[in-house]
Amino acid sequence: MIKLIENYIEDSNHTSWFNKYYPLGCYGGYVLLNYFIFLILYLLGAPDLLNAGISWLLTTVFATIYQKTYQRKVFLILPILLLIIDLSGLYFIKMSIVLLKFLINIIILLFSYLFYKLFCKR
């Protein structure tokens, strides 16, 4: 479906909302999946930093399988930076862990979008 839309846009030289907001949708899905896995592990009683690491790992594996739009260099750098932001926020900021994880995921979403816009050519 996505390929069909991309071909339509390329064939007719249209710039649409799809091209403009594609990375935001992809990273939004990444953030939602990360938060969902985090909440499940939190409810199961996993320690906070281990919980964040496991949710990051599972989300990154899923994104690797699902997404093929990453450039190799970006793919190696971005998930590691996102893990560092996630774990350092959870370690240094003391507040409600569920709310904090939500706020960190918003920061990760914005950071990912900016990183994509600056370094990725689609």
In a domain, 30, yes or no: no
pLDDT score, position 112: 78
The pTM of the full predicted model, rounded to 2 decimals, is 0.66
Residues 40-93 have pLDDT tens digits of 999 999 888 898 889 888 888 877 776 654 455 556 677 788 888 888 888 888
Establish if 111 belongs to a structural domain. Answer: yes
Q: Residue 34: inside a domain, yes or no?
A: no
Task: Locate 59 and state its tokens.
Answer: 């989300």
Q: Output the six-digit token pair for 51.
A: 């919980």
Q: Give 4-41 pLDDT, tens digit per residue.
A: 666 655 555 555 555 666 666 667 777 888 889 989 99
Q: Which of 57, 28, 54 is nearest to 40 (CA)?
A: 54
| Domain, as residue range, for 81 | 46-116
Tokens found for residue 53: 């690491």
**What is the predicted pLDDT for the residue at 66?**
66
What total number of domains does the chain contain? Answer: 1
Classify 107 as helix, strand or coil.
Answer: helix
97 lies in a domain? yes
Establish if 58 belongs to a structural domain: yes
Establish if 26 belongs to a structural domain.
Answer: no
Judge whether 25 lies within some domain: no
Does any domain span residue 87?
yes
